[in-house]
Amino acid sequence: MEKKKLKTVEIVNENVELDEEYEDIQCPRCKEMKVVSWAQQTRASDEPPTRFYKCMKCGYTWREYS
Ligand SMILES: [Zn+2]
């Protein structure tokens, strides 16, 4: 039985806990489908957290505003 564990990656000197790992999102840079995602609270706590994506192949990171 294999349990999927949350991974931690270093993003601009911060360690964040990944909450999702996608295989259906394509990296806009290298077109690989190895993308992880996590949510990070922005400065204003009454705003929804920003979702970040990172390509595990080339390291490209981008964000998405909801
Ligand atoms: Zn990539």
Q: Which domain holds residue 20?
A: 10-43
Distance 14 CA to ligand 1 centre (A): 20
How many domains does the chain fold into?
A: 1
Task: Report yes or no: 36 and 11 within 8 Å, Cβ to Cβ.
Answer: no
Whether 38 is covered by a domain: the verdict is yes
CA 26/CA 23 separation, integer angstroms:
8
Whether 37 is covered by a domain: the verdict is yes
Supply the pLDDT for residue 52: 87
Supply the pLDDT for residue 13: 45
Whether 47 is catalytic is yes
**7-55: per-residue pLDDT in tens?**
665 555 456 666 666 677 899 999 999 888 888 877 777 778 888 888 9
Whether 30 is covered by a domain: the verdict is yes
Whether 35 is covered by a domain: the verdict is yes
pLDDT at residue 1 is higher than 70: no
Distance 45 CA to ligand 1 centre (A): 30
